[in-house]
Amino acid sequence: MMRERVLAFLRAQGVQAGAKMIVGLSGGADSVCLLHVLQSLDALPLHLTAVHVNHGLRGEEAARDEQFCRQFCETLGVEFCSVHVDVPAESAKTGEGHEACGRRLRYEAFRKAAGEDGYILTAHTADDNAETVLLHLLRGTGLSGLCGIPPVRGNILRPLLSCTRADVEQYCAQHDLTYMTDSTNESDLYLRNRVRREVLPVFKSMNPSVLEAFSRMTEAVRADEQYLKACAQEAAKTVRTPHGGVDEQALLKLPPALQRRVLYMWLCTKTHSAQHQIESVHVEALLSLVGSGKSVTLPGACTVRSRQGVLECPPPTVTRWEQPLRLTARAQTVQTPAGTIHIQLFRQKDLQNLHKEYLANAVDCAKMNSNLVLRSRCSGDRFSDSARGITKTLKKWMNEKKIPPELRNAVPVLASGDQVLWVGGFGTNAPFAVSDRTQQCFVFMF
């Protein structure tokens, strides 16, 4: 029965004979059962590699488990790989708990072994699925937490998820398979152990088929979650601002279920550090921030603020800068703290063929002197827009364009003394623009 279930699962996922399979082997009953089943699938021969991860937590007991896994693989004729990690040291660096850190390091080892073309197989059972849901309920969860453990996630497959731990133990007994028992499974330090020993048995006493009930529920919830996730991905496009923020009014027009998902997805793009987990409390903090004009610091040292109707992660402030500029007849590229500026000389005969964007950034050579600098803005800088015939301070122009204060020093200004000739993103100051009498001009493209 176990073999038939696993074989049907693998075929449903399109697994072909000879496929590269990385099997997570802890030495416990579940992983021993899975590896034995996979090795015995004559109808679907596979290229198996068992990967055992020693977490550096249990001393001699961990060494015992590793040696057992090595010998078990020798007996089966399966390739064996052992990976040593230091969970205490890594968790001290990242701030993760040992359990979360160990899981991350395990999957990193599995992914490295699998490469781009391999599958990763883990031995999670229906019991693990029910325990995971109950843990999420204890901590407070949304719909995603009720999805349990997915049977398929990318190249990760879990063929035993429809089997119970009792099924696994029965299989091991039938095939005289020995296995190791992790002493930490008896420790009350881990909440999962208490759920396994104290909570789940109560559910089973009320409903002997409760594991199947959990499995049906998680399957149905996963379908709902996938649909809502797709809706949120489309909705996210309607609230995104040109600078990568979230339009607060557009967000509030969405149903609450989509608001939270959109904010979660957006926050994931802003917190890149893998050790930090985004939780519902962080999403709720963003929702309460809308329209407040305040800011909040979230995981990964990510600061989010509400400003002028937009939720945004302000970038680091650019400091003031200045550098002299020497113009030449040859085209040149100038590197500045604000970015790259391309400068090219054009003559009168070229002007009629210049694109309008070039003309908007052209400075008449007769109207400038040789004492030129590229710099960030200064207090009192004024700029005149040729098309609109309006003169304002650069500060007001930047307010109008909604350029965040911390980015304003990143706007390059070409100046001679206290006169502004050209501004990156705004163009040429009107008094220095080209005209019918222009003989030569320099074009500045930023």
Could you report the per-residue pLDDT of 304-326, keeping only the tens digit for each? Answer: 999 889 998 887 778 899 999 99
CATH number for the domain that contains residue 288: 3.30.465
Average pLDDT in the 186-197 region? 83
* pTM for the model: 0.70
Q: Whose CA is closest to 395, among 382, 384, 411, 413?
A: 382
Q: Are residues 300 and 346 in the same domain?
A: no
Q: Which pLDDT belongs to residue 350?
A: 87
Q: Which pLDDT belongs to residue 272?
A: 58
Higher pLDDT, 316 or 287: 287
Higher pLDDT, 274 or 168: 168
Q: Are residues 118 and 200 in the same domain?
A: yes
Distance CA 446, CA 426 (A): 10
Q: Choose the weakest-confidence range: 34-43, 359-368, 399-408.
A: 399-408
Residue 233: inside a domain: no
Residue 231: inside a domain: no
Distance CA 180, CA 7 (A): 25
What does the pLDDT look like over 391-432, one tens digit per residue? 999 999 999 988 888 889 999 999 998 899 999 999 999 999
Supply the range of the domain harboring residue 289.
240-312
Q: Are residues 208 and 257 in the same domain?
A: no
288, 312, 336 — which closes off a domain?
Answer: 312
Residue 259: inside a domain: yes
Asked if residue 70 has pLDDT above 80, the reply is: yes
Q: Are residues 196 and 76 in the same domain?
A: yes
Q: Are residues 87 and 37 in the same domain?
A: yes
What does the pLDDT look like over 77-110, one tens digit per residue? 999 999 999 888 888 888 888 888 889 999 999 9
Q: Are residues 343 and 294 in the same domain?
A: no
Asked if residue 113 has pLDDT above 50, the reply is: yes
What is the H or E stretch that residue 166 is in? helix 165-174
CATH number for the domain that contains residue 400: 3.50.40.10
Q: Which pLDDT belongs to residue 301?
A: 65
Q: Which pLDDT belongs to residue 296?
A: 87
Burial class (CB in 10 A: 0-12, 13-18, 19+), 144: middle
Q: Which pLDDT belongs to residue 300?
A: 65
Structural domains counted in the chain = 3
Pairs from 92-97 (Cβ < 8 Å, separation ≥ 24):
94/275, 95/275, 96/275
Residue 224: inside a domain: no
Asked if residue 170 has pLDDT above 60, the reply is: yes
The set of residues, in sequence order, having a beta carbon less than 8 Å from that of 280 and lying 6+ positions away, is 140, 141, 142, 260
Q: Are residues 198 and 58 in the same domain?
A: yes
CATH number for the domain that contains residue 128: 3.40.50.620
Asked if residue 275 has pLDDT above 60, the reply is: no
Residue 229: inside a domain: no
Residue 132: inside a domain: yes
Confidence of residue 274 (pLDDT cuts 50, 70, 90): very low
Asked if residue 367 has pLDDT above 70, the reply is: yes
Asked if residue 270 has pLDDT above 90, the reply is: no
214, 249, 274 — which closes off a domain?
Answer: 214
Q: Are residues 280 and 159 in the same domain?
A: no
Residue 122: inside a domain: yes
Q: Are residues 154 and 113 in the same domain?
A: yes
Q: Which pLDDT belongs to residue 273?
A: 45
Q: Which pLDDT belongs to residue 230?
A: 96
Residue 250: inside a domain: yes
Q: Are residues 307 and 336 in the same domain?
A: no
Q: Are residues 329 and 196 in the same domain?
A: no
Asked if residue 277 has pLDDT above 80, the reply is: no
Q: Which pLDDT belongs to residue 351?
A: 87
Q: Choose the weakest-confidence range: 27-41, 81-95, 293-307.
A: 293-307
Give me the percent of the chain exceeding a pLDDT of 70: 98
Higher pLDDT, 353 or 13: 13
292, 312, 332 — which closes off a domain?
Answer: 312
Q: Are residues 300 and 330 in the same domain?
A: no
